[in-house]
Copies of this chain bind each other. A is one copy, B any other.
């Protein structure tokens, strides 16, 4: 147990030994073990975008075992997926890599102005499958947000009672928020704050842009001269907005893009004090060897081996 991991766990004082153990399990697994940084492999795109859009670019990805193996070989801290994908491999790979059961999911056969994912798994499922955490998406800004917030409230309380930490994907969207606003720095920082206030152990947000969405917030950012020009500054602000760094906040990898652009983004996250990345499509939509190399670079940046 490194000093850094002990320090991180100290922020979660008051949580049960079960919750702390599972947090430690994720922090101490894989290439980044003990560094306090995390790279998580999430594969819910089959549900969210459909199988061909997700896996045709790299067909071995149709097979649920592929992702367990990829996460394991790449040295990811954890592998996150919906119920079906985990059920299809949790026994075969039992104990090999920490698992995060994603408890709600949306599909893209229908899109609604006020989106709300369906709850598709339970804390009981997470226990049954030997998971180290549960994941849950909220859409602040959606007219359905109260449903999501109340679902995660209940799930989170149940999870804490059985030693399972909660990871909240906090993605503002819905009628009240513009497309640019979804990644605006004020909105992303707010999304992180909401997830923390809901009792999340780990928060996932999108890398923020320098756009400011809400007038009332804009005034404050300008008046207080909060630096938001560089990504590292914005990440720093999001970390600050996550209880002054007392909660682990990680950033999504987004759609497939050029590697250099992603590596730069990872540098920005690292330099701003972010805790890591959760990278799906950029990992599993390319051949395995390329993916391993790609993830190795990402982790190298987080370790500091790569500047």
Interface residues of chain A, those whose CB is within 8 Å of chain B, are 11, 13-15, 46-47, 49-53, 56-57, 59, 62-64, 82-85, 87-88, 90-92, 94, 105, 107-112, 116-122, 124-125, 128-129, 140-143, 145-146, 149-150, 153, 157, 160, 172, 174-177, 186-187, 189-190, 192-194, 196-200, 214, 216-217, 220-221, 224, 226, 237, 240-241, 243-244, 246-247
Contact = CB atoms under 8 A, between A and B. Distances in A.
Given A50-B190, A186-B50, A226-B52, A59 B240 contact: yes
A224 B64 contact: no
Nearest to A246: B88
B11 A51 contact: no
Nearest to A129: B14
A87 B157 contact: no
Nearest to A149: B118
Contacts of A217: 50, 52-53
7 contacts: A46-B197, A50-B189, A51-B193, A51-B241, A63-B243, A109-B145, A118-B153
Contacts of A59: 240
Contact of A216 (B49, B129, B224): B49
A217 B120 CA distance: 24
B119 A153 contact: yes
A73 B146 CA distance: 35
Given A52-B190, A109-B141, A125-B157, 10 more contacts: A11-B88, A51-B189, A52-B224, A53-B216, A57-B224, A62-B243, A82-B197, A84-B198, A119-B149, A122-B153
Given A153-B121, A157-B124, A109 B52 contact: no
B52 A186 contact: yes
Contact of A13 (B91, B105, B214): B91
The 4 closest A-B pairs by CB, nearest first: A14-B91, A63-B244, A84-B197, A118-B149
A219 to B, nearest CB: 8
B226 A110 contact: no
Contacts of A187: 109
